Amino acid sequence: MEPRARPSADPATGLIACDWPVSWSLDIPKAWVSGLFLAVFTSDDGFRSYTPFVVRDTSRRSDVLLVVPFTTYQAYNLWPFDGSVGKNLYKGFTPDGKVGGNEERAFRVSFDRPYAHDGIPSWFDMDTSAARWAEKAGYDITYASSVDLHDGTIDVSRYTTVIFSGHDEYWSTNMRDWAEDAVAAGTHLAFLGSNNIYFHIRVEASDDGRDGRVVTCYKQDEDPEPGPGGPTERWRTLGKKHRKAEHGLLGVQYNGMVAKPVPLVVRESDHWFWAGTGLRDNDGIPELVAVEADGFDPSMPRPENATQTLLSSSPYSDSMGRGRRTQNTSLCENGEGTLVFVAGTFHWPLALNMPEHLNPQIQRATGNLMNRMLEQRSQ
């Protein structure tokens, strides 16, 4: 197969989309189970690249649905990483070939392009670690992508618990509505990372009319077409008095970049969540708080009709020069017994299965959470 032409960026939005003809496709065999898969491509000269994909099974109910954050994958995808054309929602290249910042970034990014470098999306290991742990634990689990939540493919009533396994930062109005409807219907939510539901996005059609192919987010720039959901900016700045802040669903929200990994400091050690871990108040789980952290903010809206337990209180230094911050792991339970859990750190899902991060105490605590969630509906 001949190399395909590299597209140029749209001068107004920075959108880079490959209008290449289909050269290979895969019909998913009926015998395949729902899961997170990785396609491996090897060129004639030995270069290997990857593309992750999810196989759904919407025909049956499952105890657990694991949602993989493809909208966030695309937001960080700096393809082509060529010193010239490539852009994502954070940066692009300066005229001298260096990676720039906001001045060079795109406002729209397309799924119609490879992932940069070897094809593994940013922080993909958070999702694979959580998935491997859940499957080893024997949970009845199926999979979906964040785009599936957006387009209505997934029926909220078919699952007891929904796991958001990784870095799930970019959410459309439809996605947010889906999560709120899930809680209202009695479906538990578990966010195993941090910096969740941070940027409001639109998921739009490609230029040739295919739905769900473009992620749009203008952030601090003026959004020329806000639409019914409002402008594509931070959720916490939408509406008056932060009324749409992610804190209102999650109970905590992103509060900083962690300069270097620090211990997660345990609180409420007599809570069922920590049962069997051997942990006591003020014990530290080494290097568990890392990369980005969430924390409780009393000035923000809180989940309605819910009791909140902060399961950690971990001081850390912010790498952006914003001083000392505190990370909190949070568990909210509403009056109907529906749980919303937020780990509040990137290293939590890694501690479930990645050999260099593996922590039996986090495995046990997360198992306690899952078992509690799966018991609630039958009581």
* pLDDT single digits (tens) 250-265: 999 999 999 999 999 9
Residue 67: CB atoms within 10 Å: 26
The domain tally of the chain equals: 1
Per-residue pLDDT of the chain (379 residues; tens, 9 = 90+): 678 889 999 999 999 999 999 988 999 999 999 999 999 999 888 899 999 999 999 999 999 999 999 999 999 999 999 999 999 999 999 999 999 999 999 999 999 999 999 999 999 999 999 999 999 999 999 999 999 999 999 999 899 999 999 999 999 999 999 999 999 999 999 999 999 999 999 999 999 999 999 999 999 999 999 989 999 999 999 988 899 999 999 999 999 999 999 999 999 999 999 999 999 999 999 999 999 999 999 999 999 999 999 999 999 999 999 899 999 999 999 999 999 999 999 999 999 999 999 999 999 999 999 999 999 544 4
pTM above 0.95, yes or no: yes
What's the CATH code of the domain at 321? 3.40.50.880
What is the pLDDT at residue 24?
87
Asked whether residue 87 is assigned to any structural domain, the reply reads no
What is the pLDDT at residue 140?
97
Asked whether residue 129 is assigned to any structural domain, the reply reads yes
The answer to whether 357 and 350 have CB atoms below 8 angstroms apart is yes
Token pair listed for 290:
């890392």
Asked whether residue 163 is assigned to any structural domain, the reply reads yes
The answer to whether 196 and 246 have CB atoms below 8 angstroms apart is yes
Token pair listed for 23:
């050269």
Token pair listed for 357:
């991060």
Contacts of 235 (CB under 8 A, 6+ apart): 171, 176, 197, 198, 199, 200, 244, 245, 246
What is the pLDDT at residue 239?
84
Contacts of 22 (CB under 8 A, 6+ apart): none
Angstrom distance (rounded) from CA 358 to CA 130: 11
Asked whether residue 247 is assigned to any structural domain, the reply reads no
What is the pLDDT at residue 377?
46
Hunting for tokens 């700045």 — which residue is that?
237
DSSP 8-state symbol, 99? B
Angstrom distance (rounded) from CA 226 to CA 241: 19
Residue 314 pairs in a beta bridge with 327
Asked whether residue 325 is assigned to any structural domain, the reply reads yes
The answer to whether 200 and 217 have CB atoms below 8 angstroms apart is yes
Asked whether residue 350 is assigned to any structural domain, the reply reads yes
Angstrom distance (rounded) from CA 190 to CA 366: 10
Contacts of 259 (CB under 8 A, 6+ apart): 316, 317, 318, 319
What is the pLDDT at residue 378?
43
Range of the domain at 286: 35-73+124-197+252-376
What is the pLDDT at residue 241?
87
CA distances from 116 to 22, 48, 81, 260 (A): 19, 12, 6, 26
DSSP 8-state symbol, 35? E
What is the pLDDT at residue 255?
97
Contacts of 351 (CB under 8 A, 6+ apart): 285, 288, 357, 358, 359, 362, 363
What is the pLDDT at residue 262?
98
What is the pLDDT at residue 192?
98
Nearest to 362 by CA among 303, 235, 277, 243: 277
CB burial of 13-51 (b: ≥16 within 10 Å; e: otherwise) equals: bbbbbeeeeeeeeeeeeeeeebbbeeeeeeeeeeeebbe
Nearest to 169 by CA among 243, 256, 69, 248: 69
Angstrom distance (rounded) from CA 32 to CA 11: 42
Asked whether residue 269 is assigned to any structural domain, the reply reads yes
DSSP 8-state symbol, 115? P
Asked whether residue 18 is assigned to any structural domain, the reply reads no
What is the pLDDT at residue 1?
67
Question: Is residue 104 helix, strand or coil?
Answer: helix
Provide the sign of the torsion angle of the four alpha carbons 89, 94, 97, 100, taken in this order.
Answer: negative
The answer to whether 214 and 110 have CB atoms below 8 angstroms apart is yes
The answer to whether 215 and 75 have CB atoms below 8 angstroms apart is yes
